[in-house]
Structure 1
Amino acid sequence: MNKPIKCCTLLIIIMMLTSTYVCPILAAPSQEANQILQDSLSIIEIDHEIERISQEQEALIQRQQELRSNLITQQEQMTLQRNRAGSVLRSYYMGERDKLLSVVLGAKNLKQLLSLYDYYLLLISHDQDVLQEYESNVQTMRKTEQQVTQASLELETVKTSLLEQRKRIVMLQSRVNEGVSASKDPDTLRKLISEMTAYWENVGVYEVNRHFKALAQAMQDLPQFIQQQQGAMITNGKTITINIREEDFNRFLKSENELFNHFNFSFKQDRIVVEGQQGTMKLKVEGHYTVENEPQNAILFHVDHLVFNGLELPDTTRNKLEKDFDLGFYPQQLISYVKATEVHTIAGVLEVKLELSLK
């Protein structure tokens, strides 16, 4: 194959790939059509959540069965160990070990004394091992009982969540069906739903995850960036105030990853807004920070709204992104002996208050 033919073939392949999932765009999208498309995406995302919950439910059921099986085995072993421990305790209560000690002390010569004393120590040691093993297994069995109870509670929670998500699916599907039926051009709307769904699952999910991953990686370098900013940290007694300006934060992110060249981060009153467009993908994220102390002191980001190409995705998608990508800021990475107490966003500024903590 000569070079012109190779180039032509490559060009055709590229055109086929790039045209496979082209973002569907309505010429004049009505509010009703947008709502149907949004509900359709929600159905897809909630369906994924149902699949995840179902897998979690199966894992919990299996764990519960294993724990209960372990508990039955431990209870059987406990019956035998209880009898052994009871026998040891009765021997002390009845004074049998005292009699043995008297025999040891009544030895006629040193050799006999040493032999009897070694036997006495061996017996006492065995008694202690029996009692310690019994106590250890009691604690193990109690721990297993607690795990069985906890697994049962978690399973009930998962079952409730599963039922709720299934109800949401039924409601949304009914609304979509009614909307499509009432449309002036149902066939076109069905095709649009199919194309939007394919675009989201094959392009959108990947791109959203890629951007969140890049942001999570960038946040790891934020403490170092703050240290380099003159005047960003103000100390007043035991309180340290960090002020991050909007323009500095955007500059920091763009220096971390070129993906952020197409996006802008805005600090509003009590919220952060991220907006941008790359190719056919438009993304808007709104969220806020909170101070959390468990499992460690941190400033965590919560996604309140996630809008993809004008369509808002459901809470299940937002929750999964928060779980999969850590967008938090950990003050002790900046200064080891501080903890965050407050976080606020006002027009153009993110403000964090830290206090000295020697604990």
Structure 2
Amino acid sequence: MRHRLHAKIVSLTICFLLMANPASYVHAELSIKEDNLNILQNSLSIVEIDHEIKRTQDKQEELQQKQQRLETELQQHKKEMASHEDRAGSIVRSYYMGERNQFLRILLSSDSFRSLQIVAGYYEMIILGDQETLRAYHKKYSELMAVSTELEQSLTELEQIKQNLIYQRERVMALEEEVEKGLSSSDQRDLMEKLIVELTSYWNNVGVHEVHQYFNALAVAMENLPSYVQKEPGILSINGGTYTISITEAQLNEFLRSENEIFQDFSFEFNDDYIIASGKRDDLELAVYGHYSVIDEPENGILFHVDKLIFNQFELPDTTRTMLEQEFDLGFYPQKLMSFIKATGVSTREQTLEVTMELSLK
């Protein structure tokens, strides 16, 4: 099996070079070695981790700008707070010293209805003014605390991003050393360098777009899955307070193909607690290995995790998997099916995906 897999990689990799130099095809096909396949694998990982570095740098710049804005806002709020604090403090002191009680005593001792009305009117104005001032102080204080908290969170996130940037750069440097070491010891250096260029170009110009198309189509289809579950007989069953969704490979694949023709050559397989989604179209082959887990935040549902992502038999790095998980939501949310239930378990076995749900009191 291992040798057959490598043979597939060889013939597919040669296609990249063939686009640039047809005359090289026979030579390349006869002499690609396993070590050279590792070079190509590492070169593709470098490209994708470089993409992650660029995304991280953009996020870092965005957070730095946000941090500067928050610091400016914080200083402005502190200035505004000073004036509100003085006024609020004056009011609190006046109550503490009994100044407001004097008005109350005058009000109670008024000897005529007319004077009572006048004093009561003044007293009401003072009380309302005090309340407005204290409310304004409380509002400014809340705004100050909110900005301060947001700034602290931003600083923490920025530090994490800086550490991630250092880590990813170290990964790229290590992979570049591996690639250079492999090229230096290879008797096919010129050929390998051409293959690296072609593989990189194919991934950047075709592969990235195609992978995004598949994931986007899956995300859109998953939004419509609750409707399919409701109308398809036998998928949803109820036993007391427990609700169970049991959907087979065949049913899910039929559903996906009805949603988008891109899935005509793409299919899901359910194994014991892991899932394989794979397909081939033209010169592109994609395989996604993953699993589902129950989540409660930000909302209850089952979330799909990408454990391995293979493009034309080359495994893409974790940075690509994470990016796709963040960009495309492949989860299933039972409350879109019925608002009063929540997912409590999920499993895959015997070519069936099973989701267990219970009544939710929230």
TM-score, structure 2 normalization: 0.88
Q: 2-side partners of 1:21 and 1:282: how far apart?
A: 23
Give the stretch that moved more between structures: 218-227 or 310-319: 218-227
Contact 1:34-1:311 within 8 A present in 2 as well:
no
Task: Tell me what 1:67 maps to.
Answer: 70
Residue 311 (structure 1) aligned to one of 303, 309, 314: 314
Match of 1:346 in 2: 349
1:151-195 CA-partner distances (Å, limit 9, x unpaired): 111111111111111111111111111111111111111011001
CA shift, 1:20, in A, is 8.0
AA at the equivalent of 1:60: L
> Contact 1:78–1:138 at 8 Å: present in 2 too?
yes
Distance verdict in 2 for CA 1:234–1:112, change over 3 Å: closer
Give the match for residue 230 of structure 1: 233
Which residue of 258, 272, 275 corresponds with 1:272?
Answer: 275
Q: SS at the partner of 2:86?
A: helix
CA distance in 2, matches of 1:79, 1:204: 58
Q: CA deviation at 1:147?
A: 1.4
Q: Specify the SS of the correspondent of 1:358.
A: coil
Residue type of the alignment partner of 1:122: M
- Alignment equivalent of 1:32, drawn from 3, 14, 35: 35
Deviation, structure 1 residue 241: 1.9
Distance 1:98 1:248 in 2: 78
Deviation of 1:106 (Å): 4.6
Kindly indicate whether the alpha-carbon contact (under 8 Å) linking 1:284 and 1:306 is maintained by their aligned counterparts in 2.
Answer: yes
User: Are 1:179 and 2:182 counterparts?
Assistant: yes
Check conservation: 1:21, 1:202, Cα contact below 8 A.
Answer: no
C-alpha deviation, 1:310, in angstroms:
1.1
Structure 1 residue 293 corresponds to structure 2 residue 296: yes
Distance 1:106 1:345 in 2: 82
Which residue number corresponds to residue 201 of structure 2?
A: 198
Partner SS, residue 220 of structure 1? helix
Aligned counterpart in structure 1 of residue 164 of structure 2, from 161, 166, 173:
161
Q: Does 1:322 align with 2:325?
A: yes
Q: 1:207 to 1:99 in 2, by over 3 A?
A: same
Give the AA of the match of 1:304: D
| Separation in structure 1 between the aligned mates of residue 152 and residue 331 of structure 2, nearest angstrom | 33
| Native 8 Å contact 1:344 1:352 kept in 2 | yes
Change (3 A) 1:21 1:300: farther
Q: Is the 8 A contact 1:41 1:313 kept in 2?
A: yes
* Letter paired with 2:63: L
Q: Could you list the runs of 5+ residues in structure 1 that have no partner in the other structure?
A: 1-18
State the match for 2:359 in structure 1. 356
- Structure 1 counterpart of 2:155: 152
TM-score (norm 1): 0.89
The answer to whether the Cα contact below 8 Å between 1:283 and 1:306 also exists between their aligned partners in 2 is: yes
Amino acid at match of 2:220: Q
Does 2:56 match 1:53? Answer: yes
- Equivalences for 1:116-135 in 2 at 5 Å? 116-135=119-138
CA distance in structure 2 between the partners assigned to 1:358 and 1:263 by the alignment: 39
Q: Tell me which residue corresponds to 1:6.
A: none
Which sits farther off after the overlay, 75-84 or 42-51? 75-84
The answer to whether the 8 Å contact 1:288/1:304 transfers is: yes
* Deviations 1:67-100 (CA, angstroms, capped at 9, x unpaired): 1222222222222222212222222222222223
Closer/same/farther in 2, CA of residues 354 and 105 from structure 1, 3 Å limit: closer
Aligned length in residues: 341
Secondary structure in structure 2 of the residue aligned to 1:354: strand
Deviations 1:212-239 (A, max 9, x none): 1111111122222223333222222111
Kindly state the Cα deviation for residue 105 of structure 1 after the two structures are TM-superposed.
4.2
Q: Is 1:258 paired with 2:261?
A: yes
Structure 2 stretches lacking a partner, 5+ long: 1-18
Of all paired residues, the percent bearing the same amino acid is 45
**Does the aligned pair in 2 maintain the 1:36–1:176 contact within 8 Å?**
yes
